[in-house]
């Protein structure tokens, strides 16, 4: 880390801001942090009633563009609706992405989540094709998401409700994923398809 600060002295400023944020988050009963948690910049953490976020050891959350190889459009957002829960495993890195749980999102250990990824376990609205005028008054149904260990999710990907992504899989940038996929699968496209299994 010292060599990175020497290369970019501004990094120290963002790490200090992150350290202050961690101290504030530790005061909350529903935001559980283990040792080694590192924030670069300030994420948006929005935890509603009867919900919680659980972070493993050595997690990194980046919310700034400086020093990252692609453009981050917004800071990282961790958002739980009432009753929702987010679990993130040890050593996982999340850069400028949104994780929104109405029910449950579980992300394993050693995962890489690139810039502008959206992981959502509920759609904003129902299709309501029988009564589209009422669509504006609906909310999507929640379906838990499980992302196993060692998964790499490329920039701008969207992981939709009910998805299961097996251990060691890779999701290509700009993919839209919905479904169940076994371990060590390369996924890509809109909608995402299996390109190769290893």
How many H helices and E strands in the chain?
A: 2, 21
In DSSP terms, 152 is beta-bridged to 112, 170
Q: What is the pTM of this model?
A: 0.91
Three-class SS state of 128: coil
Domains and CATH numbers, the chain: 2-197 (2.160.10.10)
By annotation, the residues acting in catalysis are 125
Which pLDDT tens digit goes with each residue over 103-136?
A: 999 999 999 999 999 999 999 999 999 999 999 9
CA gap 48, 53 in Å, rounded? 10
Element (H, E) at 15: helix 10-25
Residue 1, pLDDT above cutoff 70: no
Mean pLDDT for the chain overall = 92
* Confidence grade of residue 13 (pLDDT, cut at 50, 70, 90): confident
The answer to whether the bond into 41 is cis (omega within 30° of 0) is: no
User: Would you say 107 and 147 are in contact if contact means Cβ atoms under 8 Å apart?
Assistant: yes
Q: How far is CA 61 from the centre of its chain?
A: 9
């Amino acid at each position: 880390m010292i060599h990175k600060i020497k290369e970019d002295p501004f990094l120290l400023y963002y790490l200090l801001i992150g350290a202050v944020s961690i101290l504030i988050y530790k005061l909350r009963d529903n935001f559980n942090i283990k040792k080694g948690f590192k924030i670069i910049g300030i994420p948006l953490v929005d935890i509603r009633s009867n919900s919680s976020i659980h972070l493993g050891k050595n997690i990194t959350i980046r919310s700034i563009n400086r020093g990252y190889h692609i453009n981050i459009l917004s800071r990282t957002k961790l958002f739980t609706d009432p009753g929702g829960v987010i679990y993130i495993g040890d050593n996982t890195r999340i850069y400028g992405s949104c994780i929104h749980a109405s029910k449950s999102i579980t992300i394993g250990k050693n995962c890489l989540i690139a810039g502008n990824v959206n992981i959502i376990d509920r759609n904003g609205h129902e299709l309501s094709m029988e009564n589209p005028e009422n669509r504006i008054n609906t909310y999507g149904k929640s379906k838990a998401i499980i992302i196993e260990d060692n998964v790499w999710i490329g920039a701008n990907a969207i992981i939709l409700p009910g998805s299961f992504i097996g251990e060691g899989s890779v999701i290509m940038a700009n993919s839209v994923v919905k479904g169940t996929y076994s371990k060590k699968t390369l996924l890509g496209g809109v909608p995402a398809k299996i390109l190769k299994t290893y």
